[in-house]
Amino acid sequence: MPDVLLLLWLVGGGTAPPRYDIGRVARPEEIQASDISVLPTGAGLPPGHGTAREGKSLYATLCATCHGANGEGRDSYAALVGGRGSLKDEEPRLTVGSYWPFATTIWDYIHRAMPYVAPGTLTPDQVYALTAFLLHADGIIGEDTVMNERTLPLVKMPNRDGFVADPRPDTGPKKNPPR
């Protein structure tokens, strides 16, 4: 069947499919804004800082509508706190404190994807403060513990050792192709 389609395409003149002129080419600054990698070691974290106390009002304004006043989740939006010790239950609760192995991953996710209605609009200080708020809400850090590019990677998440490396030879880290 694919040979027939190729033949029909060639007989028809081999013209390219129509263009719909939707969208535009991304500007260099737009690409740079999303061209980041934050590793568990903290490599890639920008300068900034925040505490849970600072993050509390940000959370109430930007996050509580979807995730609940205390991170308990609402409707189809995930719970962010609680669930510690539930991973072996019949219905585990995958939250910041029960599942995520690295605090830097929380920072990265908030930075890239939140708030839901305007992803990528938070400043590094706001992201550090929101990350600190969630870590505090889950009893992992104190309310006035400063999270920044040096301290965040040092946070020992409750499930850090809950993952096992995949021993298959084809699952190791891949080198990125040159650009």
CATH number, domain of 106, equals: 1.10.760.10
Distances (CA, A) of 175 to 51, 53, 108: 35, 40, 21
Residue 170 domain flag: no
Do residues 71 and 82 lie in contact, with contact meaning Cβ atoms separated by under 8 Å?
Answer: yes
Report how far residue 110's alpha carbon sits from residue 100's, in angstroms, rounded to the nearest whole number.
Answer: 13
DSSP-H helix ranges across the chain: 2-11, 28-34, 52-62, 64-67, 103-113, 124-137
* pLDDT higher than threshold 50 for residue 179: no
Residue 3 dihedral angles phi and psi, to the nearest 5°: -65, -40
Q: What pLDDT was estimated at residue 171? A: 73
Q: What is the pTM of this model?
A: 0.77
- Residue 42 domain-assigned (yes or no): no
Specify the number of domains making up the chain: 1
pLDDT band of residue 119 (cuts 50, 70, 90) is: very high
pLDDT tens digits, 51-67: 999 999 999 999 999 99
Q: Which pLDDT does position 10 carry in this prediction?
A: 60
The 3-state DSSP class for residue 128 equals helix
Q: Confidence band (pLDDT; 50, 70, 90) for 23?
A: confident
Question: 175 in a domain, yes or no?
Answer: no
Q: Give the separation between CA 116 and CA 62, rounded to whole angstroms.
A: 9
More confident residue, 16 or 156: 156
Distance, in Å, from the CA atom of 54 to the CA atom of 172, rounded to the nearest integer, reads: 39
CA distances from 56 to 60, 105, 108, 143 (A): 6, 20, 19, 10
The model's confidence at residue 100, banded by pLDDT at 50, 70 and 90, is very high
Which residues constitute the domain of residue 82?
A: 49-162
> 135 with 54: CB under 8 angstroms?
no
Is 156 within a domain?
yes
Distance CA 52, CA 110 (A): 15
Asked, for residue 23, whether it belongs to a domain, the answer is: no
> Residue 173: inside a domain, yes or no?
no
- Max Cα distance, the chain (Å): 71
